[in-house]
Amino acid sequence: MTARLPLTKYHQIYLVLREQLQEGRFAQGMPAEMELARQFGVGRVTVRHAMEQLVADGLIVRVVGRGTFPKAAPAAGLMRDAAVQAQPTRLAGLMENIVSASRSTTVKVLDWRTVAAPEAVASALLLPLGEPVKKAVRRRSSREGPLSYITTYMPLHLVAGMSRRDLASKPVLQLLEEAGVELGRAQQTISARQADAVVAHELGVAIGSALLAVRRRVFDAQDRPVQWLEGLYRPDRYEYLMEVSRIGSVDARISVKDQGSAA
């Protein structure tokens, strides 16, 4: 049984709202505190504490007489940080490793639909804000149980022949290659993140558990963005290894842990 972290109710609400903000759900403004209180089944004071934490983190701004709105800066800052911190990854090696790792895991497609690109996604894929893109949400599992929760966005014209069944049987990079995309390079950042209510349920962990967070932008041979990936991984079942050469290239490899050791 997974040990529960002593999270307060307001912090659980904060985690959920932070995730929704990152997905761009409140582009036109956030619901009032009373509405949020009804949605979460809590008192207004609890919601107010969560909102104050979002303000302190610089994720939202309150405008007197108008309402509460997400700040635009974090999404732009994310891409600037990625450009500064991300090393060029040898995509061919990473592709081979992803395909190899997929053979020992299974995938459940949780979502596959067309959505309006939120700010972070539009910025990553160099598309206008709100441009239709294809969104895929997948949960990958090993023999030990749920392993990762991966959200992928791609331009519509690249996925015309891609189906839900394809996503369950092959890695997205392989499907893009089969669709005629000549893969080039990738940029990625690796950090940590706490599990919100949705991710915690899918991965079988407690809300607030620490997860490995990977953000990856993949380009084609003409240096056009073709994929934006946001992956959350259980660190007890997943490893991410990188080898950095003296000339600056990075060989990234992933490992699925099996009974405590890397597969």
pLDDT of amino acid 78: 41
pLDDT of amino acid 263: 32
Give the three-state DSSP class for 116: strand
Q: Can you tell me the distance from the alpha carbon of 231 to that of 79, in angstroms, rounded to the nearest whole number?
A: 16
Report which listed range, 19-23, 66-70, 152-156, 236-240, is most confident: 152-156
Which domains, ranges and CATH numbers included, belong to the chain? 9-71 (1.10.10.10), 76-262 (3.40.1410.10)
180-196 b/e (C-beta count within 10 Å ≥ 16 → b): ebebeebbbbbeebbbb
Q: Can you tell me the distance from the alpha carbon of 57 to that of 52, in angstroms, rounded to the nearest whole number?
A: 9
pLDDT of amino acid 42: 86
Interval 191-248: pLDDT, tens:
888 888 889 899 999 888 889 998 999 999 999 999 999 999 998 887 666 565 555 4
Give the three-state DSSP class for 118: coil
Instruction: Report phi then psi at 49, rounded to 5.
Output: -60, -40
pLDDT of amino acid 258: 52
Report how far Cα 106 is from the mean position of its chain's Cα atoms.
Answer: 19
3-state helix, strand, coil in the chain (%, to 5): 35, 35, 30
Evaluated on CA atoms 161, 127, 230, 25, the torsion sign reads negative
Q: Can you tell me the distance from the alpha carbon of 120 to that of 103, in angstroms, rounded to the nearest whole number?
A: 31
Is 251 a residue whose pLDDT tops 60?
Answer: no
Q: Can you tell me the distance from the alpha carbon of 50 to that of 11, in angstroms, rounded to the nearest whole number?
A: 6
Q: CA end-to-end span of the chain, whole Å?
A: 24
Q: Can you tell me the distance from the alpha carbon of 177 to that of 153, in angstroms, rounded to the nearest whole number?
A: 16
| Arithmetic mean of pLDDT over the chain | 79
Q: Can you tell me the distance from the alpha carbon of 183 to that of 196, in angstroms, rounded to the nearest whole number?
A: 33
pLDDT of amino acid 149: 95
Q: By percentage, how much of the chain surpasses pLDDT 90?
A: 31
pTM, two decimal places: 0.67
What is the four-CA torsion angle of 193, 196, 201, 204, rounded to 10 degrees?
A: 30
Q: Is beta strand 225-233 parallel, antiparallel or unpaired with respect to 210-220?
A: antiparallel
Is 4 a residue whose pLDDT tops 70?
Answer: no
Specify whether the CB–CB gap between 135 and 234 falls below 8 A.
Answer: no
Interval 113-146: pLDDT, tens:
999 998 889 999 999 988 999 999 999 998 889 9
pLDDT of amino acid 11: 82
Q: Can you tell me the distance from the alpha carbon of 124 to that of 81, in angstroms, rounded to the nearest whole number?
A: 12
Predicted confidence band of residue 168 (pLDDT cuts 50, 70, 90): very high
